[in-house]
Amino acid sequence: MTAQELSERDYFTDPEILVDPYEYFNALRSQGPICRLEKYDCLLITGFEEALEVWKNPIDFSSVNSLASAAFPLPFEPKGSDISEQLDEARDKFVGHDMVVCYDGKHHTKVRSLISRVFTPTRLKANNVFMHDYAQELVQRVVARGSCELVSEVAAPYVTMIIASLLGVPPEDRVKFEEVIAAGQTVGSIEHADSPTDMTSMNFIAQFMAEYLQDRMKNPTGDMLTELTQSSYPDGTKPDLSELVGLSAFLFAAGQDTSAKLLGNAMRYIVDIPGLQQQLRDDRDLIPWMIEEVLRLEGSSKITARLAVRDTKIGDMDIPAGTRVGLAIAAINRDPVKWGEDANEFKLKRPRIREHLAFGRGVHTCAGAPLARAEVIEIINAFFDHTSEIGFNEAVHGKVGSRKYKFEPSFIIRGLDTLQVEFKA
């Protein structure tokens, strides 16, 4: 297939692009750092600097469509050089509009201030003992059997329990949430073109969060939910209950799939890069460096979106109000202009690696990034503690160099549906 033919495929629905989105994005990149997807009448950014410019301009670019995607047509006909009033009237027509990730302006600043207050290093550190013990318990259980399906048996329950513990979700309800999330439709499903992101699981979780929050108002504990009920906005006013319910449900759900997928993605590099596994076992201080390079090369989020609310520019390009812009994180993080000609290769201690955009940048930077990193580092250490070698089931995934994987059918999430892992004690 030529680059031209490849670039004409439909990123938002094509199951073949799931397997190798990077080849597709490379084909797009050959058209320049910003290209137009005719079918969806939107722009797609593959250039690092261009993406950074959009992320750092929340005045001109709204986040309202960050979950709906750039492919989602506007629910109104944009008129004039400033559509902010039109957007305000139609905001509730965007999927996820009531979640902080889609907020803009002062409302976002206020709610984001609550997140900064609860996601502190002190609070994360206080959960380290639980995280360590739970990682050890899960890993010892599967290593004793000699093999496991990593995603459903380790990654998903692990990340669910960690955030549940931080928030203060009662242990008896944690499995319930895990089951609902596992059974629900993935975010940005390529199999549901009319409704790629479904909020059923989120609404289910929100009902429980409302109960917990009301309980914490009467019976405060030391958990994050209690802290949210006691929090105030910077202007001294109190958030109402519905805002806290939405925020709690979002904090619970946001890091689930992405953190779980990061573990699977990291395992692929650990197992398949020649010599890497032993190098990391010999020097555990390299694990965080490995995670950063995996985040760059194969982070769990492939794409997000913005909407130009007024006439603006990206570089020299005029961007009219109403333009939908896709930020292809999976491409941006491999832009050779930023990372050099070896941008597609794995390289430990890559210069300026911390500047990758796997967690975005600007006012919407993922606040859970420190938690995601800590979670994955902890459990990889646990695997190294209890094994001498980790490999994949070749009957299922094939041999190194010709592996076969089933990926989550999502245009947003990059990660494996399943990964059959084998251990040597």
For binding to another protein (CB under 8 A), which residues are involved? 53, 56-59, 106, 109-110, 112-113, 115-116, 119-122, 233-235, 354-355, 359-367, 369-370
Minimum Å distance from CB 286 to another protein? Answer: 19
In degrees rounded to 5, what are phi and psi of residue 149?
A: -95, 105
Distance (Å) of CA 108 to CA 5, 36, 209, 215, 234:
40, 29, 21, 26, 12
Minimum Å distance from CB 116 to another protein? Answer: 5
Q: Which is nearer to another protein, 59 or 144 (CB)?
A: 59
Q: Are 281 and 384 in contact (CB under 8 A)?
A: yes
Q: Which is nearer to another protein, 182 or 369 (CB)?
A: 369
Q: Which is nearer to another protein, 97 or 112 (CB)?
A: 112
At 8, the amino acid letter reads E
Q: Which is nearer to another protein, 128 or 200 (CB)?
A: 128
Furthest C-alpha separation in the chain? 66
Axis-axis angle for helices 156-167, 128-145 (nearest 10) = 160
Minimum Å distance from CB 119 to another protein? Answer: 5
Q: Would you put residue 12 in left (φ > 0), alpha (ψ -120 to 50) or beta?
A: alpha
Minimum Å distance from CB 289 to another protein? Answer: 15
Q: Which is nearer to another protein, 157 or 362 (CB)?
A: 362
Pair of tokens at residue 297: 């090369």
Q: Are 64 and 47 in contact (CB under 8 A)?
A: no
Minimum Å distance from CB 364 to another protein? Answer: 7
Chain Cα centroid distance, residue 12:
17
Query: What CA–CA distance (Å, rounded) separates 109 from 222?
Result: 25
In degrees rounded to 5, what are phi and psi of residue 339?
A: -105, -5
Q: Are 79 and 33 in contact (CB under 8 A)?
A: no
Minimum Å distance from CB 332 to another protein? Answer: 15
Question: By C-alpha distance, which of 222, 356, 344, 351 is closest to 300?
Answer: 356
Q: Which is nearer to another protein, 55 or 94 (CB)?
A: 55
DSSP helix/strand/coil, 423: strand
Minimum Å distance from CB 53 to another protein? Answer: 8
Q: Which is nearer to another protein, 101 or 273 (CB)?
A: 101
Query: What CA–CA distance (Å, rounded) separates 192 from 410?
Result: 10
Sign of the alpha-carbon torsion through 150, 151, 154, 155: positive
Minimum Å distance from CB 229 to another protein? Answer: 20
Minimum Å distance from CB 411 to another protein? Answer: 24
Q: Which is nearer to another protein, 146 or 234 (CB)?
A: 234
Query: What CA–CA distance (Å, rounded) separates 155 from 250?
Result: 19
Pair of tokens at residue 252: 């619970």
Q: Which is nearer to another protein, 355 or 417 (CB)?
A: 355
Q: Which is nearer to another protein, 321 or 374 (CB)?
A: 374
Chain Cα centroid distance, residue 283:
28
Minimum Å distance from CB 163 to another protein? Answer: 15
Question: Could you please report the per-residue DSSP string of 189-249?
Answer: BTT-TT-SS--HHHHHHHHHHHHHHHHHHHS--SSHHHHHHT---TTSPPPPHHHHHHHHH
Give the helix/strand (H/E) hosting 317: strand 317-319
